[in-house]
């Protein structure tokens, strides 16, 4: 497979690298240290990044966006994440839902949802699937049991739908302006058969933001509850067909998910390798830089190896997705699992090399990378994702 980049891909990569080095990295640790989780976001970095196209990068060109291909998306996310993983994710979260709009919305909906998003540098998108008692069950629904999975209820009243229930851990919930809410429109069938998606603006009557979660990692990234109390959503905002909900997670939207997390992990691994090399060269024990110790060299070698292997895997899946060669589903799932293993090992080794001051003390840069890397267990590398990977291998072709 040819991984050489064309001029446009290279230009986006260089632009993202410059932005990460000059704008993101200088504020990364400082934002991480803000105690109140509602105050960690920095709107100035969102505005600057938006002006450069990082918020709207995945909106197709014909609808006014930049229409980046998957290879370029992966390159840009990795570069931004090298500066700060959570800031990169705040931008790419908008790409995720841009893909859903492109894949599943009607042209009237596209016009209505994309116009304000494209015009407003502070317009962030999000999507609500998870609920207090429905996390993994939405991703790997247990066969045939209608009780499993999301419960946010939607009932039709004329031209409106009335939504009741709550979502939790929702990214951008307290800062975003438009959300895609996954609702149950038929409680007597499985979650796969009875789910409908609605586009819900944040100022919808009956919708409010609940608790903002205080996370150990990805502190810049906002996660909150969305509470629906007789929330009234127009029928015109139903996306992808009645009971078409989980099917809405197909097409580019679904291909992007695995790639997004894994490309972000590449950037974090790069940052950890760079940090470890720098520390190894400058920190002395026994009168010489610790990089001269064989044990440190072996650890650095393991870090490089994992970072490069992950980069190759990401580029391969991105290129396959662009070629519409439909990568075997197992590849995408295994990519997520491998990204989790790689980022956590690489960040752990970096923390180890930093010793007590840089690694075990709160708010040190190496400690932040470990806390950020833990997020992958919950979003990408838990047992359900691993089971999905194995099942897609067992049951494909």
Ligand X SMILES: Cc1cc2nc3c(=O)[nH]c(=O)nc-3n(C[C@H](O)[C@H](O)[C@H](O)COP(=O)(O)OP(=O)(O)OC[C@H]3O[C@@H](n4cnc5c(N)ncnc54)[C@H](O)[C@@H]3O)c2cc1C
Q: Does 277 bind ligand X (CB under 6 A)?
A: no
Q: Does 129 bind ligand X (CB under 6 A)?
A: yes
Binding range to ligand X, per CB under 6 A, among 169-177, 268-276, 326-334, 338-346 = 169-177
Question: What distance in Å separates the CA atoms of residue 136 and residue 133, rounded to the nearest whole number?
Answer: 9
Binding range to ligand X, per CB under 6 A, among 98-106, 130-138, 230-238, 334-342 = 130-138
Question: What distance in Å separates the CA atoms of residue 333 and residue 331, rounded to the nearest whole number?
Answer: 6
Which pair of structure tokens corresponds to residue 191? 């979650």
Q: At closest approach, how far in Å is the CB of 215 from ligand X?
A: 6
Q: Among 13, 92, 204, 223, which residue interacts with ligand X (rule: CB under 6 A)?
A: 223
Of residues 316, 254, 264, 236, the one with CA closest to residue 102: 254
Q: At closest approach, how far in Å is the CB of 103 from ligand X?
A: 17
* Minimal CB distance residue for ligand X: 135
CB 380 within 8 A of CB 261: yes
Q: Does 128 bind ligand X (CB under 6 A)?
A: yes
Q: At closest approach, how far in Å is the CB of 365 from ligand X?
A: 20
**303 or 370: whose CB is closer to ligand X?**
370
Q: At closest approach, how far in Å is the CB of 90 from ligand X?
A: 11
Binding range to ligand X, per CB under 6 A, among 61-69, 75-83, 185-193, 371-379 = 371-379
Which pair of structure tokens corresponds to residue 349? 């080794």
3-state secondary structure of 238: strand
CB 5 within 8 A of CB 17: no
Binding mask 136-155 toward ligand X (x if CB under 6 A, else -) reads x--xx-x-------------
Of residues 66, 96, 91, the one with CA closest to residue 77: 91
Q: Does 349 bind ligand X (CB under 6 A)?
A: no
- Number of other residues whose CB lies within 10 A of the CB of residue 122: 12
Q: Among 250, 379, 391, 393, which residue interacts with ligand X (rule: CB under 6 A)?
A: 379
Chain positions 31 to 70 lying near ligand X, rule: CB under 6 A, are none
Binding range to ligand X, per CB under 6 A, among 112-120, 135-143, 202-210, 265-273 = 135-143
For tokens 């080095």, the residue is 21
Of residues 173, 192, 176, the one with CA closest to residue 184: 192
Q: Among 29, 277, 384, 393, which residue interacts with ligand X (rule: CB under 6 A)?
A: 384
- Alpha helices by DSSP H, listed for 354-382, are 355, 365-379
Question: What distance in Å separates the CA atoms of residue 202 and residue 245, rounded to the nearest whole number?
Answer: 20
Q: Within its chain, how far is the Cα of 213 from the centroid? A: 16
Q: Does 383 bind ligand X (CB under 6 A)?
A: yes
Binding mask 191-220 toward ligand X (x if CB under 6 A, else -) reads ---------------------------x--
Question: What distance in Å separates the CA atoms of residue 99 and residue 86, rounded to the nearest whole number?
Answer: 20
Q: At closest approach, how far in Å is the CB of 375 from ligand X?
A: 5
Q: At closest approach, how far in Å is the CB of 5 from ligand X?
A: 30
Binding range to ligand X, per CB under 6 A, among 106-114, 167-175, 250-258, 341-349 = 167-175
Q: Among 28, 50, 130, 185, which residue interacts with ligand X (rule: CB under 6 A)?
A: 130
Q: Among 169, 180, 338, 376, which residue interacts with ligand X (rule: CB under 6 A)?
A: 169
Residues 6+ apart with CB under 8 A from 263: 73, 74, 75, 77, 78, 81, 314, 318
Q: At closest approach, how far in Å is the CB of 151 from ligand X?
A: 13
**In 245-262, which positions are buried (b, 16+ CB within 10 angstroms) versus exposed (e)?**
bbbbbeebbbbbbbbbbb
Strands (E), 260-392: 284-285, 288-289
Torsion-angle region of residue 6: left (phi > 0), alpha (psi -120 to 50) or beta? beta
**169 or 220: whose CB is closer to ligand X?**
169
Binding range to ligand X, per CB under 6 A, among 13-21, 36-44, 121-129, 331-339 = 121-129
Of residues 98, 88, 73, 82, the one with CA closest to residue 9: 73
Q: Which residues make up the interface to ligand X (CB under 6 A)?
A: 126-130, 135-136, 139-140, 142, 169-171, 218, 223, 375, 378-379, 382-384
């Amino acid at each position: 497979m040819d991984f050489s980049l064309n001029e446009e891909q290279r230009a986006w990569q260089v632009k993202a690298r410059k932005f990460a080095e000059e704008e993101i990295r200088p504020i990364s640790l400082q934002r991480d240290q803000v105690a109140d989780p509602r105050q960690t976001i920095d709107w100035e970095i969102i505005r600057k990044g938006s002006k450069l196209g990082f918020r709207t990068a995945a909106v197709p060109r014909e609808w006014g966006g930049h229409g980046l291909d998957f290879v370029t998306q992966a390159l840009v996310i990795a570069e931004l994440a090298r500066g700060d993983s959570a800031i990169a994710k705040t931008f790419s979260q908008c790409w995720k839902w841009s893909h859903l709009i492109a894949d599943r919305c009607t042209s009237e909906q596209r016009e209505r949802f994309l116009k304000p998003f494209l015009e407003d540098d502070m317009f962030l998108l999000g999507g609500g699937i998870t609920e207090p008692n429905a996390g993994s069950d939405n991703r790997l629904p247990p066969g045939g049991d209608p009780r499993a999975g999301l419960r946010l209820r939607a009932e039709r009243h004329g031209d409106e739908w009335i939504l009741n229930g709550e979502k939790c851990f929702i990214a951008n919930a307290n800062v975003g302006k438009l959300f895609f809410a996954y609702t149950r429109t038929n409680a007597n069938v499985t979650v796969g058969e009875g789910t409908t998606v609605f586009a819900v603006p944040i100022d919808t009557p009956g919708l409010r933001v609940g608790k903002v979660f205080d996370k150990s990692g990805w502190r810049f990234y906002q996660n909150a509850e969305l509470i629906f109390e007789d929330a009234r959503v127009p029928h015109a905002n139903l996306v992808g067909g009645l009971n078409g909900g989980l099917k809405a997670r197909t097409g580019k939207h679904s291909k992007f998910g695995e790639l997004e997390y894994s490309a972000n992990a590449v950037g974090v691994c790069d940052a950890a390798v760079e940090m470890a090399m720098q520390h190894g060269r400058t920190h002395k024990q026994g009168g010489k830089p610790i990089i001269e110790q064989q044990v440190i060299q072996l650890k650095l070698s393991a870090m490089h190896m994992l970072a490069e292997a992950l980069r190759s895997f990401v580029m391969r899946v991105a290129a396959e997705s662009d070629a519409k060669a439909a990568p075997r589903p197992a590849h995408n799932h295994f990519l997520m699992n491998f990204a989790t293993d790689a980022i956590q090992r690489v960040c752990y080794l970096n923390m180890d090399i930093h010793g007590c001051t840089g690694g075990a003390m709160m708010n040190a840069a190496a400690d932040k990378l470990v806390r950020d890397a833990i997020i992958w267990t919950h979003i990408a590398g838990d047992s359900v994702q691993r089971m999905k990977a194995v099942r897609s291998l067992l049951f494909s072709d």
